[in-house]
Amino acid sequence: MNKKKYSLDKYWEDKLNLRYEEEILRYKMLCNDKIPKRVAKKYNINPRYSTFGEWEKYIKEKISKISNEELREYQRYINLKRTNVFFIPFLIALISPLIVEGLKACTEVEFDNMIASIIYFLFIYFLLICGGLLIIKNLSKEEREHKRNQLFYNDIYEIVQKEIEKRSNYTYLI
């Protein structure tokens, strides 16, 4: 992930000493998701926790170091991360009409030989089915990846929300 020098991602990673790419991978391990070997090797990830409670404690430890105002700012940042719009549905809506027009153009080709026509249409439908299956496989993989990332940020948001409530109740008691 290419981060700008002054991005919010970099700011919060430095502030909390928390690398989101690595933490998302650990979260996925906690949730029993498959991590590709090349990715695990690249980050040299070792799980730090084996239960959700341990992970929650780890996150609470990280956010306990920041002030109440910074915690509210962090909550806004996490809310932004968890509500990002997924790009794939937009892409499908944009590309679908182009695919349909391309298929129409392919089916309008006329051959003098009946066998050549049949082979041509079988080849086009074979490519369409293989391409469709490949696209569906990749889209479902991306969708699962996006959902897991969203759950990661939702869980952090919930932990931050509890911490804000805890801190506000503590100040009322004093």
Whose tokens are 């937009």? That residue is: 90
The type of residue at 65 is: K
Contact criterion met (CB below 8 Å) for 160 and 63: yes
Please report the pLDDT score of residue 155 as a whole number. Answer: 93
pLDDT in tens, 51-94: 899 999 999 999 998 999 999 999 999 998 887 655 666 666 67
- How far the first Cα of the chain sits from its last, in Å, is 44
Residue 87, token pair as written in the block: 């790009």
Whose tokens are 């498959």? That residue is: 34
Q: For every one of its 174 residues, what pLDDT tens digit does the chain have, with 9 covering 90 and above?
A: 455 566 888 999 999 988 888 888 888 888 888 777 787 778 777 777 788 999 999 999 999 989 999 999 999 999 988 876 556 666 666 777 777 777 677 667 676 778 877 888 888 888 888 888 888 888 788 888 888 888 999 999 999 999 999 888 876 555
CA distance 155 to 158: 5
Residues 6+ apart with CB under 8 A from 88: 139, 142, 143, 146
Query: 143-150, long-range: CB within 8 Å, 24+ apart, which pairs?
Result: 143/86, 143/88, 146/86, 146/88, 148/24, 148/27, 148/28, 148/31, 148/33, 149/24, 150/82
Please report the pLDDT score of residue 12 as a whole number. Answer: 92
Please report the pLDDT score of residue 77 as a whole number. Answer: 92
Please report the pLDDT score of residue 121 as a whole number. Answer: 81
